[in-house]
Chains A and B, each alone.
Chain A
Amino acid sequence: MSQFGQIGFTEEQIDVLNGAETFCRDHAPIGTVRALITSDLGYDDKVWAQIGALGWLGIAIPETYGGLGLSLTEVVPVCEQMGRRMMASPFLSTSLAAQALIVGGTLAQKSKILPQIAQGKAASLALSERNQAWDLTRCDVQARRTQGGYVLTGTKTLVLDLEAAEWIIVSANLDQKACLFIVEKEQILETAMRREILIDETKRGWEWVLDGTEITEEACLDKSKMDAAFKHIHLTATLLFAAELTGGAQACIDYTVEYLNTRKQFDKLIGSFQALKHPVVDAFVEYQKARSLLYMAAFNFYKPEQGEVATRMAFVQADKTLSFAADRSIQFHGGFGFTYDCDAHLYRRRAIFNTSQYGDRHYHKTKLADLLL
């Protein structure tokens, strides 16, 4: 089993964890989360500015580009704690876009954009399409060469935080091969964007008709690095979504336990009924495993084979855990569980969304089987 790697931690990671735990708890109480659901923007721009000021967006950006020069190992606790409180912000999208640039960008692109992200500017990725189903390199959107640049045609879907982003990294086919391009905020026509209705209402996603979007030659990422970039985006998203799910599982279990400790039926606290107690314990056991796997993945992420195995394992376990914990949470709240007011559905919706974007547990298990068996 040693080929799968050991768990470990870095001092910086623990500092980030402690900071994020307090910050997210203080700035995303459930009332705020619910208020932001109904807002247009979807997040609190003052809190977003604070996140920028804390330097979290620069954690995994090299020092030469104005970041802290740490790694995704230290980003994981931020996503975990944000996921725990369901704090809304373009943090995850921006982190992913930065990673795409770090691995696939040209020197000029990195020098221009990464320092601004490290300072708190938002960015995002536009990869999804209607016919794509998790294979990021399968694009119907086309990039056609023009004089001095490219023109894009086709439609992207599920573009998270499109409205917030200063830069969007778009995938499109160029000469029959998927490639990444940077589109700047000013190039997006308002009429080309339609807000989609997402199951996770704390998130903001858009359909984006690219037809006629013209970009310069310099907007194309380094073509020689595309394979590595797509793979890195896929695994990074898997890791960070797993972190959100794991944090969410902790909160969901706490939320359920609280109800089991206060609601009475038949003159007894319902938590004394084992039909409720034991499944909650099972969820808790799965959560502890999920957290161990998550921090192992964070620690080993950059090791060639191990990193991929660890990341997919962490995701499988996180998906299994929150999906189960939230499903049972709805049931164990009885009639109240069926209401919009009960938070259980927020967790269930989160799990469905997070497992829909870059592959769910079945998909990752298939990939793991190919790697391990």
Chain B
Amino acid sequence: MKKTEISSEVQAFSTEAEAWFAENTPAYPDFMLPLTFMEVGTDQQFDFLRDWQRKVYEAGFLGAAWPKAYGGGGLSQAHQDAATAVMRKRKVPIMLNAIGLGWAGPLILDMGTEAHKQKYIKNILSAEDMWCQGFSEPEHGSDLGNAQLSAVKDGDEYVLNGSKIWTTHGHYAKYMILLARTNPSSANKYAGLSFFLAPMKIDGIETHKIRKLTGEHGFTQTFFTNARIPADGLMGAEGQGWKVAMQTLMYERNAKGGQAGGTFITENDPLEILELARMAKRGGEPVLKDPIIREKLVEFMIDAQAFRLNAARAQIPPLNQDCPQAIPLMSKLIHTEYTRRINEFALSLQGAKAGYYVGEPNAIDDGYWHRGYLNAFSATIGGGTSQIQRNIIGEHALGLPKTR
């Protein structure tokens, strides 16, 4: 097929998506929707988003590039990207089953068996089967390579003992991607790890909901007590768990492609704060007259402009020859810290009303900024904390010695 033919097909698909989302995007419900998949806190939110994901999938705009044989659309990645772009542009509600769509699914398609693909892929797309990620442990978070949950082979099963924590969707999930220790006496900590696709709804696995700082529930601590999982869930060989885990992070950073599509995080205009600032008053005067507030707002505008431009400059090789990997490596840090700081600043624009919280009718924007600030930490902590990001940038982009 010639390139122009592909793109006109993609164009048509995009137009189709535009029309479908214009018609079918649900009205905003009378409860607050989560901004990210990590924020799903109530059954109401869960049910709403699960229905929505199923509808998008059934309309053909999710998993469009995944193979038809397993429930995908059998089209090109460009098709899916076009549909995702429409979703992003229209700010439709997020796709709920993020770990399935973004991590587990691509991994299964890459290295799973035929049976895995038949069993898992379609239900990931329809949100019939929710997935979660069991990496962090109570004693080992940033030091993920030190994970200790034990997996001991017994016939055609592995027996699991230990605990995972901060498991997003742990309570709802039918399956987990799991990092466990199969060899406690390996020479280095990484070599003792293995990676599994594990069922959650079995004897010996219990999830305990954890209440987040927002007061909602979101993630769980997951306890494993002699839980037996089928050995055919092992991905790669025993001892290759770290490598496989790093591969899932590649999907996460979208460096490898292969995600099912859709958005897992609502991307807000980085400067929507200006609306708030224009309305805000202090002592009867517009806050926009306050030189300190003005300076702050300008700083945010420069930052917002800078990270937008960084992304663009990363696509211009002659303008980043000195360190081509620098911009991609730092984008999580820049983005998440910006979000945290600007939400925090938004509170200071609200005067006494900053003392309200979500649910209070007198709260500005229904407490949107309060919730935004508290939830912003999900991204500055989850997926590798900002401090760990600085280690990574220092070590990988600047060549500084490792911190131990």
Which A residues are closer than 8 A to B by beta carbons?
Answer: 1, 4, 6-7, 9, 14, 17-18, 250, 253, 257, 260-261, 268-269, 271-274, 277-278, 280-282, 284-285, 288-293, 295-296, 313, 316-317, 362, 365-366, 368-369, 372-373
Contact = CB atoms under 8 A, between A and B. Distances in A.
Contacts of B274: 373
Contacts of B291: 366, 369
B160 interface: no
B398 interface: yes
A290 B305 CA distance: 11
Interface string B371-404: 0000000000000000100110110011111111
Contacts of B6: none
Given A277-B390, A277-B400, A288-B326, A9 B306 contact: no
Nearest to B307: A289
B318 A313 contact: no
Interface centre among B291, B294, B404 (most CB of A within 10 A): B294
Contacts, number: 132
Interface centre among B269, B301, B402 (most CB of A within 10 A): B301
B187 interface: no
A125 to B, nearest CB: 28
B288 to A, nearest CB: 6
B400 A9 contact: no
Interface centre among B270, B294, B400, B404 (most CB of A within 10 A): B400
A6 B294 contact: no
Contact of A282 (B271, B390, B400): B390
Interface stretch (B94-102, B308-316, B348-356): B308-316
Given A1-B269, A280-B394, A316-B298, 4 more contacts: A14-B318, A365-B294, A372-B301, A373-B297
A272 B312 contact: no
B390 A293 contact: no
A289 B312 CA distance: 11
Contact of A278 (B301, B316, B322, B387): B387
Contact of B390 (A257, A278, A290): A278
Contacts of B297: 369, 372-373
Interface in B95-124: none
A1 B304 contact: yes
Nearest to A370: B294
A316 B400 CA distance: 28
A368 B301 CA distance: 10
Contacts of A277: 390-391, 394, 400, 403
Interface of B: 269-271, 274, 277, 288, 291, 294-295, 297-299, 301-310, 312-313, 316, 318-320, 322, 326-327, 330, 333-334, 387, 390-391, 393-394, 397-404
B397 A284 contact: yes
B313 to A, nearest CB: 5
Contacts of A18: 318
A289 B308 contact: no
A372 B304 CA distance: 14
Contacts of A366: 291, 294-295
Nearest to B271: A1
A286 to B, nearest CB: 9
A291 B313 contact: yes
Interface centre among A4, A295, A362, A365 (most CB of B within 10 A): A365
Given A277-B390, A281-B393, A284-B398, A289 B306 contact: yes
B352 to A, nearest CB: 23
Given A261-B399, A274-B403, A285 B313 contact: no
Interface centre among A1, A268, A281 (most CB of B within 10 A): A281
Contact of A1 (B305, B310, B313, B391): B305
Contacts of B310: 288-289, 292
Contact of A362 (B295, B390, B398): B295
B294 A7 contact: no
A274 B391 contact: yes
B298 A365 contact: yes
Contact of B330 (A9, A280, A285): A285
Contact of B403 (A14, A272, A292, A293): A272
Shortest 7 CB-CB contacts between residues of A and residues of B: A289-B306, A292-B309, A369-B294, A271-B400, A272-B401, A269-B401, A14-B318
Contacts of B394: 271, 277-278, 280-281
Contacts of A290: 306
Given A7-B316, A362-B295, A317 B270 contact: no
B376 to A, nearest CB: 18
A278 B295 CA distance: 26
A208 B270 CA distance: 49
A211 to B, nearest CB: 40
B318 A292 contact: no
Contacts of B302: 293, 313, 316-317, 368
Contacts of B288: 373
B401 to A, nearest CB: 4
A293 B299 CA distance: 13
A222 to B, nearest CB: 34
Contacts of B322: 250
Given A289-B310, A293-B306, A373 B330 contact: no
B298 A372 contact: yes
Given A292-B306, A366-B291, A9 B398 contact: no
Contacts of B387: 274, 278
26 contacts: A1-B269, A1-B304, A6-B309, A7-B313, A18-B318, A250-B322, A253-B398, A257-B400, A260-B400, A260-B401, A268-B401, A271-B394, A272-B402, A277-B390, A277-B403, A281-B393, A289-B306, A289-B309, A292-B309, A293-B305, A366-B295, A372-B298, A372-B301, A373-B288, A373-B294, A373-B298
